[in-house]
Structure 1
Amino acid sequence: MAMVALTLTPPSAQRLRAVDEFLADAWADQARHDSRLRDLAVEVDFDRGVAHLTGEVDEPGDLRLVRDRVGQLAGVLAVWARVRVGGRDPVVVDLGCGGTKQWPDNLGLDIYPAVGVDAVADLSRSLPLADNSVDVFFAVHILEHLIDFLPLVDEAHRVLRPGGVLHVMSPWWGHVNAVADPTHVRLLDIQTIKGICLQRPPDAPRWYPLHAGCDGASIFADLTLLPPDAPVPTQAHLARFFA
């Protein structure tokens, strides 16, 4: 039987710029016509398909409304938010940050000391953080370096506050970047994210996929806590992201 290669060409820089322009216009139009969004002090900027939310809202539901509406725009790969809620700055942690954080004043954790690393920690073990103490985790180019990344995902679940979000970005298994780095020990796909959310043991921490996407080079996922007694995501919601 002949083997069929699966290919997905990443968009060019020119196309990414055009997509960002489209998304900015589409969001501005939506914000003008949706009365629920007009008075919310949230700025939305797009960078290569990733929506970056900043500003301030009164209630967690206001932030959830904005991120849900932004995520419904065609072409959005992820929704990354740094928004004050009820007058409080979010606690944001970069996992495996090395010398690069998503925002300079995030708390950076890494197994090796470096500029930008605020605490040295073995991410394959327990995180040195209290329960319900973090609003946002970034796991950007880290899961592919761990033979078993589920303990880290479970630890993020323990540490996140209700409504908190875990942002994942990793090389897509079909792109050369996934195998070019000899320190990569895992291959990931969007279906891996589906497995994290739906194919764990009944007593494992539960996740709800707010968003997931792939641009042909990287996979993205925004995951939030799912309470033990909450129903699983609907098939209509899952169909947006997973086969």
Structure 2
Amino acid sequence: LDEYMTDEGWRGSKVYQAGGKCKLGSSTSAGYLVSPELQLPAVFTISVDAKDYVTSSGRADGTTLYIGVGEKTPTGEGGEWLAYEEFALTAETETYTLHCDAGGRALCFEIGTVQKRAIIDNIRANGTSAQAPAMTMSETYSGITGTQYRVTGLDRTHTYSYTVRAIAGGIESEESNVITVTMASSVDEGHGTVANIITGEGYMTISSDTESQVSVHTIDGIRIFCGKVSGQRSLRLDNGIYIVTIGSKSQKVLVR
């Protein structure tokens, strides 16, 4: 979870990115999110904006959300609650607050679902932001019927993360694991040909707007791929540095 939080030390189960917010739980399991240890005042509040999860067919889960505070949380670490409250969620986002007068020491808090799913955002401890997952870009692409989809207008100086969810026969899948990609580089071969190289966790994707001769070698000269690319070609690769040649231009590309 540290990859998506502004502070380290968060932990949990069944925690997913949801368009710049956080989804707790799945269609069959509850989920929870535990804060890092915080030095909290004697009297404080924990607040969170939350709503029930609604499927693409308009069906609400009817979720109950809880907020609890303890030195060690019962769900995550087998401790005891110092303060605990449950809230029945609605389909509209509302703010839910737990009051606690057992602070004045290092504590952590937990937010979770009693069953199924909830969407949460803007977690606050005693009026200061405890920060839910920090997403710098939030876009949803729907109506995709194939196995590929090209997203345009991306900034090569940024790193992007995405998840995929499928719908078939009125049944909606869970979101996939988060996949992170880095806009590695762009090669302009002239004559209107522009090729882009994108790397992610264990793969490299090369795309070209016209047919281009492409080769990929390891740093010690072992050839991984050689052929013509028109459109897009993805390669599964081990972490490391590769020499990518597109047309007459070569460059080093890091996969990690």
TM range (shorter): under 0.3
Q: Write 1 or 2 for the structure with the bigger share of helix.
A: 1
TM-score scaled by structure 2?
Answer: 0.21
Q: Write 1 or 2 for the structure with the bigger share of strand.
A: 2
